[in-house]
Amino acid sequence: MDQRVVSRHALTTVALAVLPLAFIGLFFVFPVVTILLRGFAPNGVLDLAAPLQVLARPETLGVAWFTLWQAVLSTLLTLCVGLPGAYLLARFNFPGRRVLNALILVPFVLPTVVVGAAFLALIGPRGPLGLRLDHTIWAILLAHVFYNSAVVVRVVGGLWAQLDPRTEEAARILGASRWGAFRQVTWPLLRPAVLSAASIVFLFTFTSFGVILILGGPGYATIEVAVYRAAAVLLDLPAAATLALLQLCFLAVSLVVYARLQQRAALSQRLVAARVAARPPRGRAEWAFVGVTLALLALVLGLPLATLVERALAGPQGYGLDNFTSLFGQSARGALFVPPIDAIRNSLVFAGGATAICLPLGLLAAAVIAYRRGVLASGFDALLMLPLGTSAVIIGFGFLVSVGQLPIDLRTSPLLIPIAHALVALPFVVRACVPLMRSIDRRLRDAAAVLGASPGRTWRLVDLPIVGRAALIGASFAFAVSLGEFGATLFIVRPEAPTMPIAIFRLLSQPGTLAFGQAMAMATVLMLVTAIAALAFDRLRTTSVGGA
What residues between 164 and 183 interact with another protein by CB under 8 A?
164, 166-167, 169-178, 180-181
* Under rule CB under 8 A, residue 465 binds another protein: no
* Under rule CB under 8 A, residue 539 binds another protein: no
C-beta atoms surrounding 449 within 10 Å: 16
* Under rule CB under 8 A, residue 470 binds another protein: no
CB of residue 101 vs another protein: minimum separation in angstroms?
Answer: 22
Measured between alpha carbons, how far is 205 from 69 in angstroms, rounded to an integer?
Answer: 10
* Under rule CB under 8 A, residue 282 binds another protein: yes
- Give the angle 309-483-304 at the CA atoms, nearest 5°: 25
Dihedral angle computed from the Cα positions of residues 172, 173, 176 and 177, in that order, rounded to the nearest 10 degrees: 60
Among 516, 526, 531, 541, contact with another protein (rule: CB under 8 A): 516
Among 98, 310, 383, 413, contact with another protein (rule: CB under 8 A): 413
Q: Give the DSSP H or E segment for 472.
A: helix 464-484
CB of residue 81 vs another protein: minimum separation in angstroms?
Answer: 25
Nearer to another protein, 72 or 136 (CB): 136
Q: Return the residues of window 358-397 that contact another protein according to CB under 8 A.
A: 360-361, 363-364, 397
Q: Return the residues of window 32-61 that contact another protein according to CB under 8 A.
A: 38
Judged by CB under 8 A, the number of residues near another protein is: 110
Rg (CA), the chain: 23
The conformation of residue 315, written as its DSSP 8-state character, comes to E
Q: Three-state SS for 546?
A: coil
Range in contact with another protein (rule: CB under 8 A) among 152-160, 193-201, 293-301, 352-360: 352-360
The conformation of residue 128, written as its DSSP 8-state character, comes to T
Nearer to another protein, 180 or 296 (CB): 180
Annotate each residue in 284-313 with x if it binds another protein (CB under 8 A) or - if it does not, as one string.
------------------------------
b (16+ CB within 10 A) / e for 428-445: bbbbbbbbbbbbbeeebb
Range in contact with another protein (rule: CB under 8 A) among 41-49, 197-205, 472-480, 501-509: 501-509
* Under rule CB under 8 A, residue 137 binds another protein: no
Asked if 87 and 154 count as a contact pair (C-beta separation under 8 A), the reply is no
Among 404, 447, 528, 544, contact with another protein (rule: CB under 8 A): 404
Q: Return the residues of window 182-241 that contact another protein according to CB under 8 A.
A: 184-185, 188-189, 213-214, 217-219, 228-229, 231-236
Measured between alpha carbons, how far is 481 from 490 in angstroms, rounded to an integer?
Answer: 14
Is residue 224 classed exposed, middle or buried when 0-12, 13-18 and 19+ CB atoms within 10 A define those classes?
buried
Nearer to another protein, 18 or 295 (CB): 18
The conformation of residue 212, written as its DSSP 8-state character, comes to I
Q: What are phi and psi of 177, to 5 degrees?
A: -70, 175
